[in-house]
Amino acid sequence: MLKGQINKIDKTSVLPRYYQVIETIKELIVFGSYKKGDKIPSERNLAELLDVSLITVRRATDELTRQGILIKEWGRGIFVNRIPEDKRKTLTVGLTCWQNGEQYSTHPVQFSIMQGVGEVFLGTNYGLKTVFITPELIQSKKYQQYFTSQKIDGLINIVLEIPDTDLEEIEKHIPYVVHGNRPERINGVSIDMESISYELTKKLIFFGHRNIGVINGPEEFTPNQLWLKGYKKAMEESNLEISKNNLKSADYCCESGYRLACEILAQRKKPTAIICGDDYLAVGCLNAIKKFGLNCPEDIWVFGFGDFPVARYSHPPLSTVKFSYYEMGKQLAYMLIKVIQREKIEAPVILTGEIIFRESAGHKE
């Protein structure tokens, strides 16, 4: 039997069950139920008492053995090898946020990812701290000093402004995971931008559009490069002309969407559809269409990305690519736990989205 008071495994929790078993065993040791040299219950008994599978318990005890906390002796059982660090000590995880002068990110993506991360860390010994990334920090490249001063034990980076080469330097000093950079990064969670863009462009071509514009986010960001790659691939496969005047990029905001759409619509040959890199850009685009005396969707179809709350309440309701940044936040948190615990990451996590047709593309819900 287990000695001491324990909490049962919470099967409704977003935390992996094997991770909960690990923390339960460590907690029993930390609080003195089992001391160094004590024998703990067998894996089969643990599985029955905690109401989880034998495979789950074995994965947990194997990990604790790898960490040197437990030791398995053939024919004798499992023993406490050393006392783990007190679970009551909070580990601080930094979540990056872009700050340029007095301006900092209030984009829905930031908050959705933060909600997902917070859901995973709720009730654990992980605390969350916002870590602001500035142009000055990137220019100086004094990452080690900065992250040391922040007193964080791990980092979730969602600021695309940090160059890939700088991320390689950061990795030498602090455990971290990253969103949105190159899909091949093992310790990363990204969106399959190329495939989504290709599929969306193909759908628009199927509906008869031959002149399709793109208003994207900053062109130096890898996700936006992949988005453009998927668009170009679809256009070229259909033998359609790609006009450079129809390809625009700027910051993710309504103002940029409005300004760039005005530039596109000022041309004599106007596109019949415009794909935008996020819903804010698309809302700005809708307003530019009205300024030019045109109607959406009768004259021009508009697509966004993200399915932010504004998408349903724009006029007309915005067609978009539905994507859960909340789920991305959860996956980033899960991955960081593994990185901090020095578990091997087998492959990056690549998520996809769902194309949603609403009135801005001629479809009513």
282-322, pLDDT tens digit by residue?
A: 999 999 999 999 999 999 999 999 999 999 999 999 999 99
Dist. CA 350–CA 231, nearest whole Å: 19
**pLDDT given for residue 7 in this prediction:** 59
Portion of the chain with pLDDT greater than 90, in percent? 62
Dist. CA 200–CA 196, nearest whole Å: 6
**pLDDT given for residue 103 in this prediction:** 61
pTM for this structure?
0.75
For the cut 70, the answer to whether the pLDDT of residue 186 exceeds it is yes
Residue range(s) in the chain whose domain bears CATH number 3.40.50.2300: 91-191+327-352, 193-323+355-361
What's the CATH number for 17-80?
Answer: 1.10.10.10
For the cut 90, the answer to whether the pLDDT of residue 75 exceeds it is no
What's the CATH number for 91-191+327-352?
Answer: 3.40.50.2300
**pLDDT given for residue 157 in this prediction:** 93
**pLDDT given for residue 1 in this prediction:** 44
User: For residue 120, what are its two tokens?
Assistant: 């995973």
- Tens digits of residue pLDDT in 202-260: 999 999 999 999 999 999 888 999 999 999 999 999 999 999 999 999 999 999 999 99
Dist. CA 191–CA 292, nearest whole Å: 34
When pLDDT is cut at 50, 70 and 90, the band that residue 338 belongs to is confident
Instruction: Report the DSSP beta bridge partners of residue 96.
Output: 131
**CA atoms within 13 A of residue 139's CA, in its CB half-sphere:** 4
Strand 212-216, strand 247-249: pairing: parallel
Residue range(s) in the chain whose domain bears CATH number 1.10.10.10: 17-80
How is domain 193-323+355-361 classified at the CATH fold level?
Answer: Rossmann fold (3.40.50)
When pLDDT is cut at 50, 70 and 90, the band that residue 167 belongs to is confident
When pLDDT is cut at 50, 70 and 90, the band that residue 57 belongs to is very high
